[in-house]
Structure 1
């Protein structure tokens, strides 16, 4: 199996790292193209994959072509490769907001197409990817794609109508989590804790809380109630967050991401 990456940015590097670490593919089975020679050379040295001269060379050789580029450059990249992608190749797009129908229209033909939305925690093997496909992708081919995506985290197939929701709840939301972590640490710094220690405490708490929710399967409200002792410190803080509109602010942020993805 030959896997070709068009674009070698952070998400592509995370995907390559996961595939190699899990033994899904060997370095000699992966190749790619990058916008700059410096990026290509870095990826070659770090992962041992082959760097080809351009996007057309990658698309012509790959069994799986991964479009790891921003949606803004689709208009530049797809015209370069649409004439050389093999009919039996599978194309995987990680671009937000670009529907299957739009991608097929850009290629000017029907092709085996998988659309996925991973997120940046893939860089440490803890990604979260929503995935959908068109009717030409077989169950076996989809299983192969899911194996690739699960090499760097969780992946679930969803109807395409939910892909923009995936953008909001997982694709963009790591930034929200980092913002919350920064604010949590700032609060500790205000109380006198050194900055580095504050980040350590805040980060481990968020990590542990997420793991507790995943492993117990309990409703987050139930776990919140477990921390809120009557008349205690936590319920005082929860009251402030409710007064300041934390829930509605987060919901509106997710909604803004969804609407932006719809308009791209």
Structure 2
């Protein structure tokens, strides 16, 4: 069976990351791209071995899987043109935060097959967490194929669309929150005399190891915290400082704010 041809509307960072991570898996497929700035599409094509299409129409007509990789505010504009040229058998794969399946299908007289996905930056190192939600029209074979594709660069799971704004906040925006936490840990170490390069290494390795334990051990994070936090020790002193400043509430508020913003993008 031939592999689906893939087209990308948009040539931003997420497409660059996807193609860099999935390059070996996509080898041998027909890969096409269009971008409103031709030079950007040409640079991406040269880097990853794609064909540049002159128009959205050309791209849509030549793609079995059509990836929508533009900013949320631009989705309606590109779909208004793409809807006239997407083949009945093609699958639209939307990576745009906050844009619902219904919103994409509203551009068509007959509802097309749509897969909403939310990948994240760690897939660039084979540790991604990708959420997928197919529309009812999407064949099971396409769903399975996309799950397998993104499982090659981390983990992939089917998620109900009602949770997609939450997923966008948690795993889509989450890496930025984790980077901020790691940077803050390192700053604390620098404040206490450690050089910055060593501080980043210690902080990043510590967070990565802690995450690995949660995934492998199947234990509650609170239980693991208690293993480290001995009575009247250094860890409890640090936890007390965090809790005094409402650390948990601050993190919960960050996820909630990001999820609310995702919902606003589809309003």
| TM-score normalized with structure 1 length | 0.94
1:1-264 correspondence to structure 2 within 5 Å: 1-21=4-24, 23=25, 25-264=26-265
Distance in 1, matches of 2:48 and 2:34, equals 14
Distance in 1, matches of 2:195 and 2:146, equals 45
- Across the aligned residues of Structure 1 and Structure 2, the Cα RMSD in angstroms comes to 1.4
Distance in 2, matches of 1:151 and 1:80, equals 32
- Conserved 8 A contact 2:229-2:235: yes
Query: CA, structure 1 residues 256+108, in 2 after alignment: closer, same or farther (shift >3 Å)?
Result: farther
Distance in 2, matches of 1:206 and 1:193, equals 18
- Conserved 8 A contact 2:6-2:29: no
- Runs of 5+ unmatched residues, structure 1: none
Tell me the alpha carbon deviations over residues 57-87 of structure 1, each in whole angstroms, 9 at most, x when there is no partner. Answer: 1111001101111111112211121100000
- Runs of 5+ unmatched residues, structure 2: none
Tell me the alpha carbon deviations over residues 98-136 of structure 1, each in whole angstroms, 9 at most, x when there is no partner. Answer: 111111113343001110111122222222111111111
Tell me the alpha carbon deviations over residues 1-44 of structure 1, each in whole angstroms, 9 at most, x when there is no partner. Answer: 201111122211222223322x2x22552111223233223322
Distance in 1, matches of 2:87 and 2:185, equals 50
Query: CA, structure 1 residues 45+67, in 2 after alignment: closer, same or farther (shift >3 Å)?
Result: same
Distance in 2, matches of 1:185 and 1:46, equals 34
| TM-score normalized with structure 2 length | 0.93
Question: How many residues get paired?
Answer: 262
Tell me the alpha carbon deviations over residues 156-204 of structure 1, each in whole angstroms, 9 at most, x when there is no partner. Answer: 0011111111012111111111111111111011001111111111111
- Conserved 8 A contact 2:121-2:128: yes
SS in 1 for 2:54: coil
